[in-house]
Chains A and B, each alone.
Chain A
Amino acid sequence: MTEVAERTIPVQERPAGRPLLRPGNTNCGGCGMSIALQMFGRELAGQPVQLVIPACCGAVAAGSYPFTAFGVPVVLSTFASPAAVATGLARVAALNEEPIRVVCWAGDGGTYDIGMGTLSAAAERNEDVLYICYDNEIYGNTGGQRSSATPLGAATTSTPVGKPEVKKDILAVMAAHRIPYAASVSLAHPEDAGRKFRQALAARGFRFLHILSPCPTGWKSEPAHGIQLIRLAVQSGLYPVLEIRDGRQVTINVEPDFSDLALAEYLAMQGRFRKSGVTAMVLRDAIRQHWEHLRRQA
């Protein structure tokens, strides 16, 4: 497993700005979304930003009015609307020549399912919006139902014996829109993640970041194991870490070792795969095929 070498300013030397996620937020222990928000907040480094958050765990993370755990202005949008609300914000910022970066922060349900039409349309119009999907592979905020991001075999409250369908390839869907920048982000690879956050913030037009986000409640995993789980998902090739420019130029950022051991460990550390009996053996071919496809593009 080798990370692409990159020269970056060490974290402690970057201007901190104000925190994006402040103390007092209501997120669960071990929430991958919290980690992602902290990493993203660090890369913001004080830039003016406006967030749009649809119905998802991110919407309740703010806490209840009149308090807000977000250190920046936020609009909580309806479930299906974040990319369109962000369009309105971004257009008005442009009309007023303001340097504000408009960012959607949405879960997988709002992105892969109910908000897909809105997301696709905003990408097609190439709105100046950064759309970040934290993907915990489940409708976490409603208590853990399947979404089209839920992987094969994962038990949820609406697929109690395991989901029979495979996960939607969101990055391919977004790349098909030929947007300037799309990337998957590994929370276990902070330098690569930081570079992508910065790149996505600096770029213009529609940008999409996908973050695999551990959810101890939904994954039936230990809160302390989140980053280790992501590392195993990347190592085994289950979660490819890559970036796609203009929908065509694919760059693989982290080379997996396709270890069955890592994959087996990933599955074993979570309770959600137990009932369906999905094993490393079952997933191996699909992973291999997906990587052959990726390598042809890269």
Chain B
Amino acid sequence: MRNELISANHAAAMAAILAARANRSGRGFCAGVYPITPSTECMELLCSRQIEKGQVVRVEGEHSAMAVCIGSVAAGARSFTATSSNGLAYMAENVVTAALLRLPMVMMVANRTLGPPWNIWADHGDSLLLRDSGWLQFYCADNQEVLDTILFAYRLGEDPRVMLPVMVCQDGFVLSHTMAQTLVPEQELVDRFLPPLEVPHRLNEQPHALGSVVLPQQTEVLRRQHHEAMNTALAIYPQLQREFAAVFGRPIADPLVGYRYEDAELLILSMGTLASTVERAVDRLRERGVKAGGLRVRLFRPFPARQLRELLGRPARVAVLDRDISPGFGGVLWGECRSCVSGDVLMQNYMLGLGGGDVRPEHVEQLVDDLLGRETAGEPMVMEVGA
């Protein structure tokens, strides 16, 4: 295990290369890549390395990057790609295709605002656009988590009970370009954790049409199976967590990550790096005597609704922080969490950090003050925090 000073983009690429090499005794690795800020340096590192029994195809656009991944997993190989923002939006049709064909692969999304007007900074609007694409979605909070989650995502998505692609999201620039000490495992450990990929429905020499026309009743069955596979991913999560810890000697985070939440009377929910800011704010609020706690939704799809419902039953007040906006509705995370609220919980939605607005602990304190002053929840609010 080497301790390296790397960006989260490089952490993602190194995890992908390790996972790629781990399939050398299987059918190998093939990935399609196309550059877009801020995910670019992930694909650059991927293109600079020799991968044993592996290839990276430099294609002409994200739509084809995903199509190459579809072809390679359909042929039984492991696959990876990385993108951001409009690249992900452009890719969308094939993103959905990969999920509906039940082709497990991993995509790193360095989250970036959708344009126009053009803005290269972080928000979650790009990957949340594909909320219903049938992919698993992780939102990471630091570089180590990006690396570990990519390895974990391969194992989870490739499980025969799941067979689904996984998106591993990280905030653009905030993580993607920030160097931090990251433990990079030896290939031998990754080989132990990631067995050769077996795609049961891969193309071989037998007549077999992948993705042919289906009738309504068959579609209903396929959608139900897809939904069940998502829920299975959540059910087998703890088992794979134990295996991860046994192999790598460190834990991998739960679908929901709490911070000083056990006795909290006020809970602040968020995703990605906002949660780190929330943790600093919680410390300051606790110093002021406010019994605040943080809760990070790390696994957004499948949504850990049952666990969240249990946690949301206790505190009287909940702030949901969204680094995204569904115009005409409110925050996307808030919409999900609101469906889990029961009883007399006061849940207020704050959308902030849109387009990379710099969210600092004092902003979180401000919104907590707003929440403390409320008798009832109001309409979702957009907070402008600026650069």
A residues within 8 Å of B by Cβ? 18, 22, 48, 50, 52, 59-60, 62-65, 68, 70-78, 80-81, 83-93, 95-96, 100, 117-118, 120-121, 124-125
Instruction: Indicate whether B1 reaches chain A with its CB closer than 8 angstroms.
Output: no
**Which residue, B205, B210, B215, has most C-beta atoms of chain A within 10 A?**
B210
* CA gap between A18 and B205 in the complex, in Å: 12
8 A-B pairs whose Cβ atoms sit less than 8 Å apart in the complex: A18-B207, A64-B215, A65-B213, A70-B207, A77-B70, A89-B72, A95-B28, A96-B27
Select from chain A the residue with minimum beta-carbon distance to B61: A117
Q: How far is the CB of B86 from chain A (nearest CB, A)?
A: 16
Asked if B210 contacts A75 (CB within 8 A), the reply is yes
B residues within 8 Å of A by Cβ? 27-30, 32, 53-55, 57-61, 63-65, 67-77, 79, 93-94, 97, 203-215, 218
Asked if A89 contacts B74 (CB within 8 A), the reply is yes
CB < 8 Å: which of A18, A52, A76 contacts B71?
A52
Dominant SS at the B interface? Answer: mixed
Asked if A77 contacts B211 (CB within 8 A), the reply is yes
* CA gap between A72 and B209 in the complex, in Å: 8
Asked if B28 contacts A92 (CB within 8 A), the reply is yes
Asked if B212 contacts A48 (CB within 8 A), the reply is no
A83 — which chain B residues lie within 8 A by C-beta?
Answer: 64
Asked if B32 contacts A88 (CB within 8 A), the reply is yes
A90 — which chain B residues lie within 8 A by C-beta?
Answer: 71
Asked if A96 contacts B71 (CB within 8 A), the reply is no
Q: How far is the CB of B198 from chain A (nearest CB, A)?
A: 14
* CA gap between A81 and B66 in the complex, in Å: 9
Dominant SS at the A interface? Answer: mixed
Asked if A64 contacts B213 (CB within 8 A), the reply is yes
* CA gap between A88 and B57 in the complex, in Å: 8
Asked if A74 contacts B72 (CB within 8 A), the reply is no
Asked if B215 contacts A81 (CB within 8 A), the reply is no
* CA gap between A95 and B70 in the complex, in Å: 16
* CA gap between A70 and B218 in the complex, in Å: 20
Asked if B68 contacts A88 (CB within 8 A), the reply is yes
**Which residue, A100, A118, A125, has most C-beta atoms of chain B within 10 A?**
A118
Select from chain B the residue with minimum beta-carbon distance to A79: B93
Select from chain A the residue with minimum beta-carbon distance to B206: A73
B72 — which chain A residues lie within 8 A by C-beta?
Answer: 88-89, 91-92
Task: Please name 16 further chain A to chain B contacts, defined as beta carbons within 8 Å, in addition to the given A75-B203, A95-B77, sorted by A numbering.
Answer: A22-B207, A64-B213, A64-B214, A65-B209, A74-B210, A75-B210, A77-B67, A84-B32, A85-B70, A87-B68, A88-B70, A90-B71, A91-B30, A95-B28, A124-B60, A125-B58
CB < 8 Å: which of B67, B203, B212 contacts A84?
B67
B53 — which chain A residues lie within 8 A by C-beta?
Answer: 95
CB < 8 Å: which of A18, A68, A73, A118 contacts B204?
A73
Select from chain B the residue with minimum beta-carbon distance to A118: B64
CB < 8 Å: which of A71, A92, A117, A118 contacts B207?
A71
* CA gap between A298 and B75 in the complex, in Å: 40
B73 — which chain A residues lie within 8 A by C-beta?
Answer: 88
CB < 8 Å: which of A76, A93, A118, A120 contacts B75?
A93
Q: How far is the CB of B201 from chain A (nearest CB, A)?
A: 10
Asked if A95 contacts B207 (CB within 8 A), the reply is no
Q: How far is the CB of A16 from chain B (nearest CB, A)?
A: 15
Asked if B212 contacts A68 (CB within 8 A), the reply is yes
